[in-house]
């Protein structure tokens, strides 16, 4: 009997997060298909440590697997930051097609992560939809509306560069401080996927939600290489197809949550919602992309530039 | 015996004072860092975005270095209900055992802490892309200091004319 | 599991420093699991246990307290409190509790409150003739009001972890927080004579109160200054602690002019030492906490409890007992992160409102902050004041009992927590 422990950052319930759905589906499929020879244990809510720590534990073989955000992966594989290129993905359909192990680009990325860190990538999906802006001042309809807004970001140079290029001011704050910062006005706004914004109840302290679809980051499901290689061929096969199905379930759950009471409908009850027009989106893109490209080329060097170009090409192809 | 005792006392004291000075400077920088972080949002013309992460690391460095100060001065908090009711000789032996266990603990943290640092060198922090190994250096550093002070304290208490308890303050 | 428990209790009871006991017990667990990979990760846990921005409030409030003491600001506050309620028996104990409520509106962390008050009120109370251990007990009892009355770090962690309305949790804490203060003041009044608490011969005198009010104005402004900086959106609550240092330093150094460079060095040195003691405990606890999580011990305990009964009132009682029990041995943040996902679905299944359930979980864990053997507030107070944990405990247990009364009232009579949230439409 083999135990496979999976750490993730989100709530445990399958209907509350994509990681919850993925792990629940995966556990059920693997345990039944292997007649219980592989036991799956789930450690949700970042119990075993923050993102980057959990990946460390997978690398050391303490935990067999983890479903991690781009932020956690970035500490082990910095070029993942190319996904911070704003307004790169035109819609969720194309994002789904590109951010996947089924795409050529996704496979290239997975192979490179494997080569650089020794972590085998079992799944690749979006972190739960596009980042959207919320703020307490006004609906955002053009880059001019960003002028003078203090927008909370992660301590991430690409995000900071994007916000500053748009004419607002990036205010990096620890996650635990964001709610009160928005409530009191230390920051006027923030950006996160709808799920995250709804989950953190930011609608209680923000008035405007702008569907800007500006950034979409990946979630990467990694597994310890030695553990995977140590499985029998038969078990490897089970783990492979079960993880594919689980990732599909996770992606679908993200879309369901966004559309459910826990997603956009909840936010729309308390905030005025507007969507960027195509012209406005183009104006945002023109203002933000060059600055972020510069940061990416500067920080991640040749490799990062290559990966960025590959991603942009993949998006272009998917778009046609 | 007495001279050796004084010698140990002095070495321990000098080390303690220097660590204290470093800690005080780090703490001062920590306070300034957070002040500047606040100012940079409102007063200064530029926006400093690294202060949050820097403040966290400064706090951890300061506190972990200060662990050795607590050891040298026997200031770490414990429950002494039973300890103080034991016969002198037994409590002295017990204090020695505690020191040996603590020494083992910190030696362990030192040894594996070095491994952690070298692993951390291949990871980067969010700001600047600084290798994470640099902030991690505090683990072996603080553990080594703790080991040295434990050793000195152990010798000091063994050689002392009047035996002292493991923890003078709770 | 037995090995770790034995290591922990034996070393703790024999008197080894708590910060080391937690680390050694955790390490024993890791070694017991076998395999070097478990050992290699211990230093990482040790580090990341401290790697939380919100912890910064602790050193800053300790430092601010040091400065307020040295500059005489504390003394002026104490004099004012004395003028107000000093003519009562145990007047300063009463004013300590009142001040805890005022302070709770500023900070979200009980340990930060304990550090600040241990550094200010306890010395002042000792000067006025109180026993140091009694003063610590009052301070510990008052400090846990901090995370109950908003703002509250725990409510923020719980709310964002479990997707419960943080505003709702904040609102739910107001009545229980005030009740905690009320029952403690009743207890002080009831036991004042038996404990022979000091009382001066003065009578309440308006002129005297006004004089002391003017004298303590600069100190009284500090909470206003901190609260203002938060409410006006100038700083986050954690940064506000750094502003408190600035304010205290400004008053002491520029207005009173009684702080020298040497004083400053000594205050920083003391702050650093106290941080070293407290942070060793937090860092070591995170090694043990990881071991407990990995072996799913909190879940094991929860499952065991639930096999006993499924009646809502009994389940609720067992949840509270479990929280208090785990809180005895575990760091509160770790306990919250591990237990909340286990317990919250349970409270929902017995039909509790999520805000109500969240408030109970926060309240129970917070009370465990002042219960030995692993009570962070107690450690902070002991290390700040030099008083002994055992002797503080002797005066503390009546406070623990009455505060448990508030916990059970909150648990079994919904309106205590939900009245205000419902007023604002923040709870069902
Ligand atoms: Na509070
Ligand atoms: Na406790």
Kindly give the parts of chain A with pLDDT less than 70.
none
**CA C364/CA B39 separation, integer angstroms:** 38
Higher pLDDT, C372 or A132: A132
Query: Comparing C-alpha atoms, which of A94, A56, A57 is closest to residue A77?
Result: A56
Enumerate residues 142 to 161 of chain B having a beta carbon within 8 A of any beta carbon in chain C: none
Backbone angles phi, psi at A151, to 5 degrees: -110, 125
| pLDDT of the residue at A30 | 98
- Average pLDDT of the residues of chain B: 85
**CA A217/CA A263 separation, integer angstroms:** 18
Is C374 touching B (CB cutoff 8 A)?
no
Higher pLDDT, A302 or C425: A302
**CA A24/CA C101 separation, integer angstroms:** 44
Alpha carbon A265 to chain centroid, angstroms: 21
Query: Which of B41, B47, B127 is the best substitution to test chain A (most A C-beta atoms within 10 A)?
Result: B47
Higher pLDDT, C390 or A2: A2
| pLDDT of the residue at C337 | 65
Looking at all shown ligands, the one closest to residue C329's CA atom is 2
| Ligand 2 center from residue A65 Cα (angstroms) | 33
Q: Which long-range contacts (CB under 8 A, 24 or more apart) does B89-98 make?
A: B91/B165, B91/B166, B92/B157, B92/B163, B92/B165, B94/B166, B94/C14, B94/C15, B95/B157, B95/B164, B95/B165, B95/B166, B96/B154, B96/B157, B96/B158, B98/B166, B98/C11, B98/C14, B98/C15, B98/C16, B98/C17, B98/C20
**CA C164/CA A200 separation, integer angstroms:** 8
Higher pLDDT, B107 or B78: B107
* Residue C190 Cα, gap to closest chain B Cα (Å): 29
Sign of the alpha-carbon torsion through A162, B133, B55, C362: positive
Interface B:C, Cβ pairs < 8 A: 188
Is 70 exceeded by the pLDDT of residue C318?
yes
| pLDDT of the residue at C334 | 62
Most confident range (mean pLDDT) of A12-26, B78-92, C62-76 is: A12-26
How many structural domains are present in chain C? 1
First to last CA, chain C: 42
Query: Comparing C-alpha atoms, which of A256, A254, A11 is closest to residue C164?
Result: A11
> What's the whole-number mean pLDDT along residues C105-117?
70
- How far is the CA of A317 from the CAs of A104, A105, A173, C142, in angstroms? 11, 11, 37, 64
Closest partner CB to A156 (pick from B41, B123, B126): B126
Residue C332 near residue C353, CB atoms below 8 Å: no
* Residue A252 Cα, gap to closest chain C Cα (Å): 20
Closest partner CB to C44 (pick from A43, A56, A181): A56
Whether the link from the prior residue into C373 is cis, omega within 30° of 0, is yes
| pLDDT of the residue at C216 | 84
| Ligand 2 center from residue C371 Cα (angstroms) | 4
| pLDDT of the residue at B69 | 95
Is C14 touching B (CB cutoff 8 A)?
yes
| A191 Cβ neighbours under 8 A, 6+ residues apart | A131, A132, A133, A134, A151, A152, A153, A159, A214, A215
| pLDDT of the residue at A250 | 97
| pLDDT of the residue at C330 | 63
> Which stretches does DSSP call E strand in A85-173?
119-126, 131-135, 150-153, 169-172
**CA C185/CA C72 separation, integer angstroms:** 26
| pLDDT of the residue at B167 | 44
Helix (H, G, I), strand (E, B) or coil at A223: strand
Most confident range (mean pLDDT) of B130-139, C9-18, C151-160 is: B130-139
- Average pLDDT of the residues of chain C: 84
Strand order in the sheet with A272-275: A169-172, A150-153, A189-193, A131-135, A208-211, A272-275
H-run or E-run covering A274: strand A272-275
Whether the link from the prior residue into C151 is cis, omega within 30° of 0, is yes
**CA B142/CA C273 separation, integer angstroms:** 14
Contact C156 A179 (CB under 8 A): yes
| Ligand 2 center from residue C183 Cα (angstroms) | 21
Domain that holds residue C412: 62-283+295-423
Backbone angles phi, psi at A209, to 5 degrees: -120, 125
Is A296 touching B (CB cutoff 8 A)?
no
Helices and strands, number each (H, E), in chain C: 22, 0
User: Among A252-266, B12-26, B91-105, C84-98, which is the least confidently predicted range?
Assistant: C84-98
Higher pLDDT, C197 or C328: C197
- How far is the CA of C83 from the CAs of C69, C119, C209, C303, C412, in angstroms? 19, 21, 5, 54, 39
With 0-12 CB in 10 A as exposed, 13-18 as middle and 19+ as buried, what is C378?
buried
Residue A40 near residue A4, CB atoms below 8 Å: yes
Q: Crossing angle, helix C18-33 and helix C261-294, to 10 degrees?
A: 30
For C44, the token pair is 């990482």
Is 90 exceeded by the pLDDT of residue C118?
no
> What's the whole-number mean pLDDT along residues B76-96?
81
* Residue A188 Cα, gap to closest chain B Cα (Å): 12
User: What is the model's pTM?
Assistant: 0.84
Query: Comparing C-alpha atoms, which of A207, A214, A217 is closest to residue A280?
Result: A214
For B97, the token pair is 């055992």
Could you read off the pLDDT of B126-170 as tens digits, one per residue?
A: 666 688 899 999 999 999 999 999 999 988 887 765 544 444 332
Looking at all shown ligands, the one closest to residue C155's CA atom is 1
Rg (CA), chain A: 19
Could you read off the pLDDT of C349-368 as tens digits, one per residue?
A: 788 899 999 999 999 988 98
**CA C321/CA A210 separation, integer angstroms:** 45
Residues from chain A contacting residue B53 (CB–CB below 8 Å):
155
| Ligand 2 center from residue C369 Cα (angstroms) | 4
Is 60 exceeded by the pLDDT of residue C244?
yes
What is the 3-state composition of chain A as percent helix, strand, coil, each rounded to the nearest 5? Answer: 55, 20, 30
Query: What HEC string does C177-244 produce?
Result: HHHHHHHHHHHHHHHCCCCCCCCCCCCCCHHHHHHHHHHCHHHHHHHHHHHHHHHCCCCCHHHHHHHH
Is 70 exceeded by the pLDDT of residue C333?
no
- Contacting chains of C (3 CB pairs or more, <8 Å) are A, B
Query: Which of C31, C160, C343 is the best substitution to test chain A (most A C-beta atoms within 10 A)?
Result: C160
> What's the whole-number mean pLDDT along residues C13-33?
90
**CA C281/CA C21 separation, integer angstroms:** 9
Share of chain C above pLDDT 90, in %: 23
Enumerate residues 52 to 71 of chain B having a beta carbon within 8 A of any beta carbon in chain A: 52-53
| Ligand 1 center from residue C417 Cα (angstroms) | 15
Residue A128 near residue A120, CB atoms below 8 Å: no
Helices and strands, number each (H, E), in chain A: 12, 11
Length of chain C: 428
Helix (H, G, I), strand (E, B) or coil at B146: helix
C329 in any annotated domain:
yes
First to last CA, chain A: 48
Query: Comparing C-alpha atoms, which of C403, C229, C411, C253 is closest to residue C317?
Result: C411
**CA B143/CA C42 separation, integer angstroms:** 13
Enumerate residues 125 to 144 of chain B having a beta carbon within 8 A of any beta carbon in chain A: 125-127, 129, 132
Length of chain A: 320
Length of chain B: 170
Enumerate residues 139 to 178 of chain A having a beta carbon within 8 A of any beta carbon in chain B: 150, 154-157, 160, 164, 169-174
| C361 Cβ neighbours under 8 A, 6+ residues apart | C158, C319, C323, C336, C339, C340, C343, C344
| pLDDT of the residue at C338 | 66
Is B35 touching C (CB cutoff 8 A)?
yes
**CA C260/CA C72 separation, integer angstroms:** 14
**CA C328/CA C369 separation, integer angstroms:** 8
**CA C276/CA C147 separation, integer angstroms:** 23
Q: Give residue C428's pLDDT band: very low, low, confident or very high (50, 70, 90).
A: low
C116 in any annotated domain:
yes
Alpha carbon B106 to chain centroid, angstroms: 10
For A262, the token pair is 């826990």
- Contacting chains of A (3 CB pairs or more, <8 Å) are B, C
Residue B104 half-sphere exposure, CB side, CA atoms within 13 Å? 11
Query: Which of B117, B120, B129, B131 is the best substitution to test chain A (most A C-beta atoms within 10 A)?
Result: B129
* Residue given tokens 């905030």 in the structure block: A271
| pLDDT of the residue at B45 | 64
């Amino acid at each position: 009997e083999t135990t496979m422990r999976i750490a993730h950052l989100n709530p445990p319930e399958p209907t509350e997060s994509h990681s919850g759905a993925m792990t629940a589906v995966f556990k059920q499929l693997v345990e039944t298909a292997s007649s219980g020879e592989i036991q799956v244990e789930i450690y949700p809510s970042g119990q075993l440590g923050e993102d980057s720590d959990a990946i460390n534990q997978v690398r050391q073989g303490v935990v067999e697997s983890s479903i991690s955000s781009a932020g956690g992966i970035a500490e082990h594989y910095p070029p993942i930051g190319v996904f911070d290129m704003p307004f790169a993905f035109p819609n969720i359909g194309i994002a789904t097609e590109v951010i996947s192990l089924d795409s050529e680009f996704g496979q290239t990325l997975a192979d490179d992560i494997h080569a650089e860190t020794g972590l085998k990538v079992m799944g690749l999906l979006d972190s739960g939809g596009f980042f959207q802006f919320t703020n307490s001042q006004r609906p955002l309809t053009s880059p001019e509306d960003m002028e003078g807004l203090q927008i909370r970001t992660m301590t991430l140079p690409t995000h900071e560069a994007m916000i500053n290029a748009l004419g607002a001011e990036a205010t990096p704050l620890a996650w635990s401080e964001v709610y009160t910062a928005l409530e009191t006005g230390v920051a006027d706004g923030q950006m996160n996927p709808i799920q995250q914004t709804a989950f953190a109840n930011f609608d209680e302290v923000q008035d405007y939600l702008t569907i800007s679809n500006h950034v979409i980051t990946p979630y990467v499901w990694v597994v310890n290489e030695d553990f995977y290689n140590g499985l029998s061929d038969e078990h490897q096969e089970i783990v492979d197809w079960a993880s594919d199905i689980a990732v599909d379930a996770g992606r679908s759950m993200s879309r369901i949550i966004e559309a459910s009471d826990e997603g956009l409908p909840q936010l729309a009850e308390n905030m005025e919602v507007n969507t960027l027009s195509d012209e406005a989106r183009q104006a945002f893109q023109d203002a933000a992309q060059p600055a972020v490209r510069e940061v990416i080329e500067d920080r991640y060097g040749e490799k990062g530039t290559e990966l960025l170009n590959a991603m942009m090409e993949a998006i272009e192809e998917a778009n046609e | 015996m007495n001279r050796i005792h004084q010698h140990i006392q002095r070495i321990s004291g000098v080390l303690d004072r220097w660590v204290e000075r470093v800690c005080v400077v780090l703490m001062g920088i920590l306070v300034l860092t957070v002040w500047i972080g606040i100012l940079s949002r409102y007063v200064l013309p530029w926006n400093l975005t690294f202060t949050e992460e820097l403040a966290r690391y400064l706090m951890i460095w300061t506190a972990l270095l200060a662990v050795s100060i607590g050891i040298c001065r026997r200031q770490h908090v414990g429950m002494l209900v039973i300890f103080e009711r034991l016969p002198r000789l037994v409590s002295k032996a017990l204090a020695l055992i505690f020191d040996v266990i603590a020494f083992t603990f910190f030696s362990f943290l030192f040894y594996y802490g070095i491994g952690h640092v070298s692993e951390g060198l291949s990871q980067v922090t969010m700001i600047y892309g600084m290798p994470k190994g640099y902030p991690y250096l505090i683990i072996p550093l603080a553990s080594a200091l703790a080991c040295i002070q434990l050793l000195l304290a152990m010798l000091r208490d063994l050689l002392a004319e009047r035996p002292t308890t493991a923890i003078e303050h709770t | 599991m037995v090995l770790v428990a034995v290591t922990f209790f034996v070393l703790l009871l024999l008197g080894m420093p708590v910060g080391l006991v937690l680390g050694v017990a955790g390490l024993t667990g890791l070694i017991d699991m076998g395999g070097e990979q478990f050992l290699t990760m211990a230093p990482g846990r040790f580090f990341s246990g401290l790697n939380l921005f919100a912890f910064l409030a602790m050193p800053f409030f300790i430092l601010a307290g040091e400065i307020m003491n040295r500059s005489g600001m504390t003394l002026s506050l104490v004099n004012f409190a004395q003028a107000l309620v000093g003519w009562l028996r145990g007047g300063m104990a009463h004013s300590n509790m009142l001040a805890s409520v005022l302070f709770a509106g500023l900070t979200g962390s009980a340990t930060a409150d304990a550090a600040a008050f241990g550094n200010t009120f306890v010395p002042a109370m000792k000067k006025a003739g109180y026993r140091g251990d009694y003063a610590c007990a009052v301070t510990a009892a008052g400090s846990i009001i901090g995370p109950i009355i908003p703002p509250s770090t725990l409510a923020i962690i719980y709310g964002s972890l479990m997707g419960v309305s943080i505003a709702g949790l904040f609102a739910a804490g107001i009545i229980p927080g005030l009740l905690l203060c009320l029952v403690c003041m009743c207890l002080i009044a009831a036991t004042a004579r038996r404990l022979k608490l000091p009382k001066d011969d003065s009578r309440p005198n308006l002129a005297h109160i006004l004089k002391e009010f003017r004298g303590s104005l600069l100190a009284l402004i500090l909470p206003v200054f901190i609260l203002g900086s938060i409410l006006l959106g100038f700083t986050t609550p954690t940064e506000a602690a750094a502003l408190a240092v600035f304010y205290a330093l400004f008053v002491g150094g520029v207005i009173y002019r009684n702080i020298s460079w040497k004083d400053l060095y000594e205050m920083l040195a003391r702050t650093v030492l106290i941080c070293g003691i407290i942070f060793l405990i937090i860092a070591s606890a995170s090694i043990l906490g990881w071991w407990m999580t990995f072996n799913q011990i909190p879940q094991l305990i929860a499952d065991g409890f639930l096999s006993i009964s499924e009646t809502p009132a009994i389940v609720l009682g067992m949840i509270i007992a479990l929280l208090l029990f785990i809180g005895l041995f575990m760091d509160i943040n770790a306990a919250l992160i591990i237990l909340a996902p286990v317990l919250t679905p349970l409270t929902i299944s017995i039909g509790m409102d999520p805000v109500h359930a969240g408030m109970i979980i926060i309240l129970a864990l917070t009370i465990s902050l002042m219960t030995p053997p692993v009570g962070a507030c107690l450690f902070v107070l002991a290390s700040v004041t030099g008083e002994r944990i055992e002797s503080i405990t002797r005066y503390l247990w009546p406070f623990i009992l009455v505060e448990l009364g508030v916990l059970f009232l909150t648990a079994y009579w919904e309106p205590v927590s939900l009245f205000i949230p419902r007023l604002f439409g923040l709870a069902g």
